Amino acid sequence: MTDGAVETDQIRPPAVLPPRLTRRGIPTDPTLRVLALATFVNRAGTGASTTTFALFFTQKAGLAATDVGLVLSVGAVLAMLAQVPLGHLGDTRGPRETMRALTVAAGAVLLGLLVARSLWAVMVVMSLATVLMSGNSAVRNGYIARVATGGRGVMFKAYLRAVTNVAMSLGAALGGLALLLDQTWAYLAVFALDGVSGIATGLLCSRLPHLAPAPARAAGEPRLAVLRDRPFVVVTLLNGVVAMHFVVMTLAIPLWIAAHTEAPTSMVAVLLVLNTVAVAVFQVRLTRGADDVMSSARAMVIGCGWIAAGFVVMSFSSGTSAAVAVVLLVLGAAIHVVGEMVSSGGQWGISMGLAPDDRQGQYQGFAGLGFSISNVVAPTLIALLCIEWGRPGWWVMGGLVLGAGLLLVPASRWALRTR
């Protein structure tokens, strides 16, 4: 290695992909088929429950909207604290077995929503369920990184993200039916579906290949080595900055359309459908090429460039006629979703490629912290920039995302030199 360059044999995993990921939309790999079925079952239940949760507990159970917000916030904070230790648990106890236990437990806990009515009861149920689901996500990502060798991990993640979008959409439709009926029994049926789908997902994990637990720690090795891996910490923080673009689309866009444009508020739903369909159809295709750490870092730069361009286009939707605003919003959202899909593949490739094989659970749990922190910091920052400041704020937001993407190239190279 000379002049700080990264040798080929330092780039992990090797870029050797199978000829076909799917045949007629069905995965050719049996492990991916099980993961996809489990993902579909679990996320369909989540989509239905997410759609109905807030309205049921405010309109039927009598909680205040601030109470529901507090419940979700407490669960999110506890999940942040738990996902790295639970990811580590998957490494040391076996990822398949840990996934099964966490998912079955989360499903059983969610059945508590059938009887929880007070603030504290709902908070206990949702906090425990959120912690278990967050831990399961860390273990699952670590499992994928270990089982999908030869550069297949990013493709596995891309396919599963497409499945997630389809399942969440179908689940949301079921939740919408419950909202239409607006009967207590319909809401409870949705919560029961969510709990049972979690239990079923855990049982499906038994069909996954067993992976041996990580070997015992060497003398003097820290329990959670990822916390001392400074390059990986920097990479995770930069990925968290990039991840703010998700919050822009869910928070800033509705407020922007309503307060700053002449476009109808129904455009919020149109843009959501556009994003969901695009990810379901094109996610796998647009992650090809993110086969190792440095190619993934370069994909992040490309994806962040598309995201920033989408923000610029959408910023010009204010001060125009309704028709022009609609065109610019659709065009900007289409550009953004390309960047979302490309950068997602880059993020997966970096986080999986930099993690030691026997510590994937804790490393993927830590990688998820970047997104968690983003969800805490981004709403206030985005409201100030995009909504209060207006058009220039969108440009600054795009610049932050693109800047973080550019910094990921040297940060990833630094991280590779320390492996």
Q: pLDDT value at position 219?
A: 62
Closest-CA residue to 286 (of 350, 247, 337, 351): 337
Phi-psi region of 220 (alpha: psi -120 to 50; beta: other; left: phi over 0): left
Q: pLDDT value at position 379?
A: 86
- Helices 360-382 & 65-93, crossing angle to 10 degrees? 160
DSSP 58: I
Cis peptide before 13 (omega within 30 of 0): yes
Q: Taking a C-beta distance cutoff of 8 angstroms, is the pair 279, 342 a contact?
A: no
Indicate the CATH number for domain 225-417.
Answer: 1.20.1250.20
Give yes or no on whether 30-207 and 225-417 have one common fold. Answer: yes
Query: At the top level of CATH, which class does the domain 30-207 belong to?
Result: mainly alpha
Give residue 241's Cα distance to chain centre.
Answer: 14
Q: pLDDT value at position 218?
A: 66
Write down the domain spans for the chain. 30-207, 225-417
Per-residue pLDDT of the chain (419 residues; tens, 9 = 90+): 444 444 434 444 444 445 578 788 788 899 999 999 999 999 999 999 988 998 899 999 999 988 988 898 888 889 999 999 999 999 999 999 999 999 999 999 999 999 999 999 999 999 999 999 999 999 999 999 999 877 788 999 999 999 999 999 999 999 999 999 999 999 999 999 999 999 999 999 999 999 999 886 666 667 788 988 999 999 999 999 999 999 888 888 988 998 899 999 889 888 988 999 999 999 999 988 777 899 999 999 999 999 999 999 999 999 999 999 999 999 999 999 999 999 999 999 999 999 998 899 999 999 998 888 888 888 889 989 999 999 999 999 999 999 999 999 999 999 999 98
d(CA 80, CA 368): 8
Task: Report if pTM > 0.95.
Answer: no
Closest-CA residue to 105 (of 208, 207, 210, 198): 198
Q: pLDDT value at position 41?
A: 97
